[in-house]
Amino acid sequence: MTPSVHHIVPDLGLRSLSGAFLLAFPALFSIVNPIGAALIFAQATSDRTRAECLALARAVAFYSFLLLVVSIWMGGAVLAFFGITIDALRVAGGLVVAVRAWNLLQAPEAVEARKEEQALQGGRTAAAESWRDMAFFPLAMPFTVGPGSMSVAIALSSERPAHESMMAFFFGLTLASAGMAIVIWVAYSYAERLVSLLGRTGARIVSRLAALILLCIGVQILAGGIEGIVISTVHNAGF
């Protein structure tokens, strides 16, 4: 018996939503690396009370969610305004993601040291002020969600298959961002426990595994962009 349109449309929307979530969440987790970041967060907030650390964790998670969602929903439109095609965005975004992942694989200590310097510098400058003064800058941006994370979010927004629902796909990306914010909130809230449980060695192992996943995602996005450019070129040439 042939299924009705009412059965097909919801299925496509659900498939698009779940596919977007499963694509975006591993990529965002890999680039944000909340486990490794939590270890540095613990150092940056070592002079804060437990209540302040919990408040900071909530605020940073909320700001991180906003940064990711704005990048997902508005990033592609901004690039389109400048005449940048989806395939060009995929190639550029895939390269950025892949290079970032490669650097994390080859020298995670250097990336970790740079993030630690940003976070600790912000913590020192705001030491005598309210925790709110360091929640957005530097802890949310650029420490937790920096240019690399926003580039990944923009690149992910270009990965919607042509036959799938745009709203369902972007809602799936938004859910992945919300899931990432929850992970950030939990990891930062229990940063001191993570320090005692994992230590730097354990965090670097997690970072390398996450970087490998991110590298695969970057190559996938890059390959999709190259394929789109080749098909478009062949089509325009009349072959």
* Arithmetic mean of pLDDT, 112-119: 58
For the four alpha carbons of 52, 139, 185 and 65, in that order, the dihedral sign comes to positive
Residue 130 has pLDDT above 50, yes or no: yes
pLDDT band at 215 (very low <50, low <70, confident <90, very high): confident
- Per-residue pLDDT tens for 74-115? 987 887 788 877 788 778 878 877 887 788 787 656 555 555
**Span of 2-11, 56-65, 85-94, 192-201 with lowest mean pLDDT:** 2-11
* Of residues 104, 118, 133, 130, the one with CA closest to residue 212: 104
List the domain boundaries for the chain: 32-237
Residue with tokens 């967060």: 41
List the structure tokens of 54. Answer: 């919990």
Residue 57 has pLDDT above 80, yes or no: yes
Residue 221 has pLDDT above 70, yes or no: yes
Pick the residue with more confidence: 187 or 13?
187
* Mean pLDDT of the residues in the chain: 81
